[in-house]
Amino acid sequence: MNIQLKTQGAPSASRPLAGKVSLVTGSTSGIGLGIARALAEAGSAVVLNGFGVVSEIARTKDRISADYGVRVSYSPADMTKAETIAEMIAATLTGHGRLDVLVNNAGIQYVAPLDQFPIEKWDAILSINLSSAFLHTTRLALPAMRKNKFGRIINIASAHGLVASPFKAAYVAAKHGIVGLTKVAALETAEEGITCNAICPGYVYTPLVEAQIGGQAKAHGISREQVIRDALLAQQPNKRFATVEELGALTVFLASDAAVSITGTALPVDGGWTAH
Ligand code: NAD
Protein backbone atom coordinates (compact mmCIF):
# COMPACT_ATOMS: atom_id res chain seq x y z
CA MET A 1 0.00 0.00 0.00
CA ASN A 2 2.84 2.37 -0.78
CA ILE A 3 2.24 5.79 -2.20
CA GLN A 4 4.55 8.12 -4.04
CA LEU A 5 8.27 7.49 -3.94
CA LYS A 6 10.34 10.66 -3.83
CA THR A 7 14.07 11.13 -3.84
CA GLN A 8 15.19 11.26 -0.24
CA GLY A 9 18.74 12.47 -0.84
CA ALA A 10 21.72 12.06 1.44
CA PRO A 11 21.62 12.72 5.20
CA SER A 12 22.12 16.40 6.12
CA ALA A 13 21.83 18.51 9.26
CA SER A 14 18.16 19.19 8.61
CA ARG A 15 17.38 15.64 7.37
CA PRO A 16 19.66 13.40 9.46
CA LEU A 17 17.57 10.29 8.74
CA ALA A 18 17.44 10.62 4.94
CA GLY A 19 17.71 7.16 3.38
CA LYS A 20 16.46 5.42 6.51
CA VAL A 21 13.22 3.46 6.92
CA SER A 22 11.20 3.69 10.14
CA LEU A 23 8.27 1.60 11.33
CA VAL A 24 6.07 3.04 14.10
CA THR A 25 3.42 0.75 15.58
CA GLY A 26 0.19 2.44 16.67
CA SER A 27 0.89 5.53 14.57
CA THR A 28 -2.61 6.39 13.40
CA SER A 29 -3.13 8.49 16.55
CA GLY A 30 -1.49 10.32 19.43
CA ILE A 31 2.17 9.79 20.29
CA GLY A 32 2.83 7.31 17.46
CA LEU A 33 1.51 9.72 14.86
CA GLY A 34 3.61 12.55 16.33
CA ILE A 35 6.71 10.34 16.23
CA ALA A 36 5.99 9.23 12.65
CA ARG A 37 5.73 12.88 11.57
CA ALA A 38 8.99 13.78 13.32
CA LEU A 39 10.84 10.86 11.70
CA ALA A 40 9.47 11.85 8.28
CA GLU A 41 10.50 15.47 8.84
CA ALA A 42 14.00 14.17 9.61
CA GLY A 43 13.99 12.52 6.17
CA SER A 44 13.07 8.91 6.99
CA ALA A 45 10.60 6.87 4.97
CA VAL A 46 7.85 5.75 7.32
CA VAL A 47 5.59 2.74 7.75
CA LEU A 48 2.43 3.65 9.64
CA ASN A 49 0.38 1.10 11.59
CA GLY A 50 -2.73 1.14 13.75
CA PHE A 51 -6.49 1.19 13.64
CA GLY A 52 -8.85 3.86 12.36
CA VAL A 53 -11.07 4.96 9.51
CA VAL A 54 -9.52 3.81 6.23
CA SER A 55 -10.10 7.13 4.40
CA GLU A 56 -8.60 9.13 7.31
CA ILE A 57 -5.53 6.91 7.44
CA ALA A 58 -5.06 7.33 3.68
CA ARG A 59 -5.27 11.12 4.10
CA THR A 60 -2.73 11.05 6.94
CA LYS A 61 -0.38 8.94 4.83
CA ASP A 62 -0.64 11.29 1.82
CA ARG A 63 -0.24 14.33 4.03
CA ILE A 64 2.98 13.13 5.70
CA SER A 65 4.42 12.16 2.33
CA ALA A 66 3.54 15.53 0.77
CA ASP A 67 4.70 17.58 3.78
CA TYR A 68 8.10 15.92 4.11
CA GLY A 69 8.86 14.42 0.68
CA VAL A 70 9.31 10.88 1.94
CA ARG A 71 7.77 7.56 1.05
CA VAL A 72 4.99 6.50 3.41
CA SER A 73 3.20 3.16 3.59
CA TYR A 74 0.65 1.67 5.96
CA SER A 75 0.15 -1.73 7.56
CA PRO A 76 -3.15 -2.60 9.28
CA ALA A 77 -1.43 -5.31 11.37
CA ASP A 78 -3.19 -6.08 14.65
CA MET A 79 -0.60 -6.12 17.45
CA THR A 80 -2.41 -9.00 19.16
CA LYS A 81 -1.79 -11.28 16.17
CA ALA A 82 1.71 -12.65 15.63
CA GLU A 83 1.07 -13.62 12.01
CA THR A 84 -0.10 -10.12 10.97
CA ILE A 85 2.94 -8.61 12.70
CA ALA A 86 5.16 -10.96 10.70
CA GLU A 87 3.40 -9.86 7.50
CA MET A 88 3.98 -6.19 8.42
CA ILE A 89 7.72 -6.67 8.96
CA ALA A 90 8.01 -8.74 5.75
CA ALA A 91 6.08 -6.10 3.76
CA THR A 92 8.36 -3.37 5.15
CA LEU A 93 11.49 -5.23 4.11
CA THR A 94 10.10 -6.11 0.68
CA GLY A 95 8.49 -2.73 -0.04
CA HIS A 96 11.17 -0.43 1.42
CA GLY A 97 14.19 -2.74 1.21
CA ARG A 98 15.34 -2.19 4.80
CA LEU A 99 14.24 -1.39 8.35
CA ASP A 100 16.42 0.97 10.37
CA VAL A 101 14.23 2.41 13.11
CA LEU A 102 11.58 0.38 14.92
CA VAL A 103 9.35 2.32 17.31
CA ASN A 104 7.23 0.00 19.45
CA ASN A 105 4.46 2.36 20.47
CA ALA A 106 1.02 0.73 20.14
CA GLY A 107 -0.68 0.53 23.50
CA ILE A 108 -3.97 0.53 25.34
CA GLN A 109 -5.02 1.25 28.91
CA TYR A 110 -7.66 -0.07 31.33
CA VAL A 111 -8.17 1.07 34.90
CA ALA A 112 -9.72 -1.11 37.65
CA PRO A 113 -8.90 -2.39 41.15
CA LEU A 114 -6.70 -5.49 41.14
CA ASP A 115 -9.36 -7.85 42.47
CA GLN A 116 -11.86 -6.64 39.88
CA PHE A 117 -9.50 -6.43 36.91
CA PRO A 118 -11.15 -8.24 33.97
CA ILE A 119 -8.98 -11.13 32.81
CA GLU A 120 -9.62 -10.31 29.14
CA LYS A 121 -8.37 -6.74 29.71
CA TRP A 122 -5.23 -8.06 31.40
CA ASP A 123 -4.60 -10.37 28.45
CA ALA A 124 -5.22 -7.62 25.87
CA ILE A 125 -2.91 -5.11 27.60
CA LEU A 126 -0.11 -7.62 28.06
CA SER A 127 -0.52 -8.74 24.46
CA ILE A 128 -0.60 -5.29 22.79
CA ASN A 129 1.67 -3.35 25.19
CA LEU A 130 4.25 -6.08 25.71
CA SER A 131 4.20 -9.58 24.19
CA SER A 132 2.94 -9.41 20.63
CA ALA A 133 4.05 -5.95 19.65
CA PHE A 134 7.37 -5.81 21.33
CA LEU A 135 8.61 -9.35 21.26
CA HIS A 136 7.40 -10.16 17.75
CA THR A 137 8.41 -6.90 16.08
CA THR A 138 11.82 -6.78 17.73
CA ARG A 139 12.50 -10.45 17.10
CA LEU A 140 11.63 -10.12 13.43
CA ALA A 141 13.38 -6.79 12.83
CA LEU A 142 16.73 -7.79 14.31
CA PRO A 143 18.05 -9.95 11.43
CA ALA A 144 17.69 -7.08 8.91
CA MET A 145 19.27 -4.60 11.34
CA ARG A 146 22.15 -6.99 12.00
CA LYS A 147 22.72 -7.38 8.27
CA ASN A 148 22.99 -3.57 7.88
CA LYS A 149 25.01 -3.20 11.12
CA PHE A 150 22.60 -0.41 12.02
CA GLY A 151 19.40 -0.38 14.00
CA ARG A 152 17.46 1.76 16.43
CA ILE A 153 14.78 0.13 18.56
CA ILE A 154 12.79 2.67 20.56
CA ASN A 155 10.17 1.38 22.96
CA ILE A 156 7.50 3.78 24.14
CA ALA A 157 7.17 2.65 27.75
CA SER A 158 5.82 5.08 30.37
CA ALA A 159 6.58 6.63 33.74
CA HIS A 160 4.56 3.55 34.70
CA GLY A 161 7.53 1.50 33.49
CA LEU A 162 9.47 2.97 36.43
CA VAL A 163 6.88 3.57 39.15
CA ALA A 164 3.35 2.34 39.84
CA SER A 165 -0.08 3.86 40.33
CA PRO A 166 -3.08 2.08 41.81
CA PHE A 167 -5.70 0.50 39.51
CA LYS A 168 -3.33 0.09 36.56
CA ALA A 169 -2.06 -3.44 37.30
CA ALA A 170 -1.83 -4.69 33.72
CA TYR A 171 -0.47 -1.45 32.29
CA VAL A 172 2.21 -1.08 34.99
CA ALA A 173 3.21 -4.74 34.65
CA ALA A 174 3.46 -4.45 30.85
CA LYS A 175 5.44 -1.20 30.98
CA HIS A 176 7.89 -2.52 33.58
CA GLY A 177 8.24 -5.54 31.29
CA ILE A 178 9.13 -3.31 28.35
CA VAL A 179 11.86 -1.60 30.34
CA GLY A 180 13.33 -5.04 31.11
CA LEU A 181 13.06 -6.16 27.49
CA THR A 182 14.78 -2.93 26.41
CA LYS A 183 17.81 -3.76 28.59
CA VAL A 184 18.04 -7.32 27.27
CA ALA A 185 17.80 -6.18 23.63
CA ALA A 186 20.47 -3.54 24.29
CA LEU A 187 22.87 -6.07 25.80
CA GLU A 188 22.36 -8.63 23.03
CA THR A 189 23.00 -6.07 20.25
CA ALA A 190 25.58 -3.81 21.87
CA GLU A 191 28.44 -4.67 19.49
CA GLU A 192 26.35 -4.63 16.32
CA GLY A 193 25.60 -0.97 15.66
CA ILE A 194 22.13 -1.42 17.13
CA THR A 195 20.74 0.46 20.12
CA CYS A 196 17.59 -0.16 22.12
CA ASN A 197 16.10 2.41 24.47
CA ALA A 198 12.81 3.04 26.24
CA ILE A 199 11.12 6.43 26.42
CA CYS A 200 9.07 6.82 29.59
CA PRO A 201 6.54 9.64 29.19
CA GLY A 202 4.43 11.00 32.01
CA TYR A 203 1.05 12.26 30.85
CA VAL A 204 0.84 13.34 27.23
CA TYR A 205 -2.44 14.74 25.96
CA THR A 206 -3.72 12.13 23.44
CA PRO A 207 -6.98 10.20 22.85
CA LEU A 208 -5.75 7.56 25.35
CA VAL A 209 -5.54 10.20 28.11
CA GLU A 210 -8.74 11.92 27.00
CA ALA A 211 -10.56 8.62 27.64
CA GLN A 212 -9.14 8.54 31.19
CA ILE A 213 -10.18 12.14 31.83
CA GLY A 214 -13.73 11.44 30.67
CA GLY A 215 -13.90 8.15 32.57
CA GLN A 216 -12.67 9.58 35.88
CA ALA A 217 -14.85 12.70 35.63
CA LYS A 218 -17.90 10.47 35.19
CA ALA A 219 -16.89 7.93 37.86
CA HIS A 220 -16.17 10.56 40.54
CA GLY A 221 -18.74 13.19 39.49
CA ILE A 222 -16.08 15.89 39.11
CA SER A 223 -15.13 18.23 36.26
CA ARG A 224 -12.56 17.50 33.57
CA GLU A 225 -10.41 20.32 34.98
CA GLN A 226 -10.46 18.69 38.44
CA VAL A 227 -9.40 15.34 36.98
CA ILE A 228 -6.53 16.96 35.09
CA ARG A 229 -5.34 19.02 38.08
CA ASP A 230 -6.01 16.70 41.02
CA ALA A 231 -5.52 13.27 39.48
CA LEU A 232 -3.35 13.31 36.36
CA LEU A 233 -1.03 16.28 36.74
CA ALA A 234 -0.86 15.90 40.51
CA GLN A 235 1.90 13.37 39.73
CA GLN A 236 3.72 15.63 37.31
CA PRO A 237 5.69 18.37 39.14
CA ASN A 238 5.93 20.70 36.13
CA LYS A 239 2.09 20.66 35.88
CA ARG A 240 1.90 20.33 32.13
CA PHE A 241 1.24 17.56 29.66
CA ALA A 242 4.25 16.56 27.58
CA THR A 243 3.60 16.96 23.85
CA VAL A 244 3.81 14.49 21.00
CA GLU A 245 6.28 16.88 19.33
CA GLU A 246 8.65 16.60 22.32
CA LEU A 247 8.51 12.82 22.08
CA GLY A 248 9.06 13.01 18.32
CA ALA A 249 12.18 15.13 18.79
CA LEU A 250 13.62 12.70 21.36
CA THR A 251 12.91 9.75 19.06
CA VAL A 252 14.70 11.46 16.16
CA PHE A 253 17.69 12.10 18.42
CA LEU A 254 17.80 8.48 19.60
CA ALA A 255 17.61 7.36 15.96
CA SER A 256 20.50 9.61 14.95
CA ASP A 257 24.21 8.78 14.76
CA ALA A 258 24.83 11.11 17.72
CA ALA A 259 22.98 8.68 20.02
CA VAL A 260 25.09 5.63 19.11
CA SER A 261 26.42 5.25 22.68
CA ILE A 262 23.01 5.52 24.32
CA THR A 263 21.58 2.05 24.76
CA GLY A 264 19.68 0.11 27.41
CA THR A 265 18.25 3.25 28.97
CA ALA A 266 14.77 4.17 30.19
CA LEU A 267 14.49 7.92 29.62
CA PRO A 268 11.79 9.72 31.62
CA VAL A 269 9.91 12.54 29.84
CA ASP A 270 7.67 13.20 32.81
CA GLY A 271 8.20 16.74 34.13
CA GLY A 272 9.95 15.34 37.22
CA TRP A 273 7.35 12.68 38.20
CA THR A 274 9.89 9.90 38.76
CA ALA A 275 12.34 12.23 40.55
CA HIS A 276 10.14 11.92 43.66
P1 NAD B 1 -3.62 6.54 21.41
O2 NAD B 1 -4.83 5.81 21.91
O3 NAD B 1 -3.75 7.94 20.93
O4 NAD B 1 -2.91 5.70 20.24
C5 NAD B 1 -2.74 4.31 20.34
C6 NAD B 1 -2.36 3.78 18.98
O7 NAD B 1 -2.23 2.35 19.09
C8 NAD B 1 -3.44 4.02 17.91
O9 NAD B 1 -2.82 4.26 16.66
C10 NAD B 1 -4.20 2.69 17.87
O11 NAD B 1 -4.84 2.43 16.62
C12 NAD B 1 -3.03 1.74 18.09
N13 NAD B 1 -3.47 0.41 18.54
C14 NAD B 1 -4.25 0.08 19.59
N15 NAD B 1 -4.44 -1.25 19.62
C16 NAD B 1 -3.77 -1.76 18.57
C17 NAD B 1 -3.59 -3.07 18.06
N18 NAD B 1 -4.16 -4.15 18.64
N19 NAD B 1 -2.84 -3.23 16.94
C20 NAD B 1 -2.27 -2.16 16.32
N21 NAD B 1 -2.41 -0.89 16.76
C22 NAD B 1 -3.15 -0.71 17.87
O23 NAD B 1 -2.57 6.41 22.61
P24 NAD B 1 -1.26 7.26 22.98
O25 NAD B 1 -1.57 8.05 24.18
O26 NAD B 1 -0.70 7.93 21.78
O27 NAD B 1 -0.30 6.08 23.46
C28 NAD B 1 0.73 5.56 22.65
C29 NAD B 1 1.73 4.83 23.53
O30 NAD B 1 2.29 5.73 24.47
C31 NAD B 1 1.12 3.67 24.34
O32 NAD B 1 2.02 2.60 24.39
C33 NAD B 1 0.95 4.29 25.71
O34 NAD B 1 0.96 3.35 26.73
C35 NAD B 1 2.17 5.19 25.77
N36 NAD B 1 2.07 6.28 26.74
C37 NAD B 1 1.09 7.22 26.64
C38 NAD B 1 1.03 8.24 27.59
C39 NAD B 1 0.01 9.33 27.52
O40 NAD B 1 -0.10 10.10 28.49
N41 NAD B 1 -0.73 9.48 26.44
C42 NAD B 1 1.96 8.27 28.64
C43 NAD B 1 2.93 7.28 28.70
C44 NAD B 1 2.98 6.29 27.76
Judge if 210 and 155 occupy the same domain.
no
Q: Which of 29, 87, 85, 38 is nearest to 60 (CA)?
A: 29
Ligand 1 pocket: which of 206, 228, 241 to mutate (most atoms within 8 A of CB): 206
Tell me if 14 is assigned to some domain.
no
Q: What is the pLDDT of residues 215-227, one digit of tens each?
A: 889 999 999 999 9
Q: How far is the CA of 9 from the centre of ligand 1 (A)?
A: 32
Residue 172 pLDDT: 98
Q: Greater confidence, 166 or 208?
A: 166
What's the pTM? Answer: 0.96
Instruction: Note the pLDDT tens digit of each residue in 23-45.
Output: 999 999 999 999 999 999 999 99
pLDDT tens string 100-112: 999 999 999 999 9
Tell me: the pLDDT tens digits for 111-155?
999 999 999 999 999 999 998 877 799 999 999 999 999 999 999
Q: Give the pLDDT of residue 2.
A: 43
Q: What percent of the chain has pLDDT over 70?
A: 97
For the chain, the domain total comes to 2
pLDDT bucket at 58, cuts 50 / 70 / 90: very high
Q: Taking every pair of C-alpha atoms in the chain, what is the biggest distance, in angstroms? A: 56
Looking at the fold, whether 65 and 81 belong to one and the same domain comes out as yes
Both 87 and 217 in a single domain?
Answer: no
Minimum-distance ligand 1 atom for the alpha carbon of 241:
40
207 lines ligand 1 (CB under 6 A): yes
Q: Is pLDDT larger for residue 261 or for residue 232?
A: 261
* Domain assignment present for 6: no
Range of the domain at 228: 205-240
Q: Are residues 227 and 125 in the same domain?
A: no
Q: Would you state the pLDDT for residue 8?
A: 60
- Would the pLDDT of 196 be above 60? yes
Which residue, judged by its Cα, is nearest atom 33 of ligand 1? 107
Residues 123 and 235 in one domain: no
Rounded distance from Cα 272 to ligand 1 centre (Å): 22
Percent of the chain with pLDDT over 90: 89
6 pLDDT more than 50: no
Q: Which is the catalytic residue, given 74, 171, 203, 205?
A: 171
Quick check: is 205 catalytic?
A: no
- Whether ligand 1 lies within 6 angstroms of the CB of 100 is answered as no
Which residue has a Cα nearest atom 8 of ligand 1? 26
| Same structural domain, 187 and 148 | yes
Mean pLDDT of 228-256: 95
